[in-house]
Chains A and B, each alone.
Chain A
Amino acid sequence: METLKHLLSLLNTGLYLKKYMRLSLVFMGLMTFILILSSVTMVLAVEAGHRMDKKAVVKWMLWTIIGGFAFLSCQAWEWSHFISGTDTATISDVMVNGIWKENYEIFGANLTFNQYGPPAFAALFFFITGFHGFHVFSGVVLNVIIFFNAATGVYERRGHYEMVEKVGLYWHFVDLVWVFVFTFFYLI
């Protein structure tokens, strides 16, 4: 279990939020709740589809799309803060383009440097949240397509709203992944 322990302690040391931006952890909670709420509105859209209630499907799909966009906006805000860093730099001895530099000023984080903790944390953070964000984005695109189809009556003519349910499963999965990302990157 040695390496798993190492990984957990990496995630813990990398908790820049706790040390420097405690308010940001609360912000992350809000973001998490926005995604959970958009999952709820998706369930409500699926439920309305079972009842053949076109108006309700369109209404709840719209809320789901808004939730998805809100989540992506929150993530953009968070990324830009994490990347640009604080006003005062962290001084550290680092390797820059293969040359060892002492007392180097680091602002923010990217795939190579991390002002707040181990660079490996920043790399892993951008890799995982980036892929998740991309999944949310493609989910929003799918939701928009479903929204238009529902609004123009495609599914009403078809006689069932099964596509809402299928895309709903994708959307819930993205939410499910975020629940784990949130735990491992923000809480631990």
Chain B
Amino acid sequence: MTKKSEAKEADEKLIVGIDLGTSRSAISASNGKSMWVDSYVGWPKDFIARKVVGNSVLFGKDALEHRLSLDLYRPLKNGVIKEGTTRDEEAVKELIHHLITLVKPKKDNSKVRAVVGVPAESFKVNKVAIRKAVSDFAESLLVVSEPFAIAYGVNALDNAMVIDIGAGTIDFCIMHGTVPTDEDQRTVLQAGDYIDQQLYNFMAERYPHSDFNLNMVRRFKEEFSFIGDPERAVKVNIPVDGRPTKHDVTEEMRRACESILPAIVETTLELIAKFDPEYQDVIRQNIILAGGGSQIRGIDKYLENVLSEYGKAKVEVVEDPLFCGANGALSLAMDMPEDYWTEV
């Protein structure tokens, strides 16, 4: 197939890469658009709520804002679709539909081809559920594991390791020139959400009379997270008896962020140790951090230092943690030969 006909093909069919995340989901499309939403889906609780919110279903920030009048779902909590509840499946479906409508012009009737990245954990259970959820909106679809999509996106196909620090899970994946199998992947369940919880607990311990909730704590984390020595003291505004008051949470922030490190180091070492000894050195120098957790200040340097004890090590952070999964999935979708699409 020539370049030209390929381009034409892409015009007729909208190709999208979707990253379904625990806390945020992103989509990148072949028409150049990319969008993201918080992975929240909410349905109005009753018809009054329906009137207030003015929509039959809300997503992301909108849903969070109106959460008091909504049945709010975070369908991918813990990185898997909870299959037991139809509402969660429905929520995933709505979420995917929403993502696709975000990038697809309304009048455009072109068929959609999608590559969907899902958390590596319970990939087997999820992929069937995802297929079900996407089948209504996409003509053909491929499901891949999230860290693999990231690796593909940054072209780290051989002798590389991706650590995707998400909200619900940290996914590890070793790439060695083929599709990673279960053996090449690990998942740790203590990730971003765990940090939030830890931070919340530490703060509640130190400031028992201050009013804050997990949402606020997550915002603090996203702004100030760090590992090692702080650049400056972390001070946040929290109401005490209704009056905003500055609180110093430097130490709490450090402890919370560092709480996920032991598991990361251990799993990284374990995965590398299992790999062909000849290439272990190469992999150690080709580690890629992705996901929201990669934005924790100092985490790359910390890992590099720890791993250096075993030999030369290099840890890089992806450029665009929010979209790297979706972009990876998109580039995979674009590269996929035409005839592979017909049967899936």
Q: Do A and B actually bind?
A: no
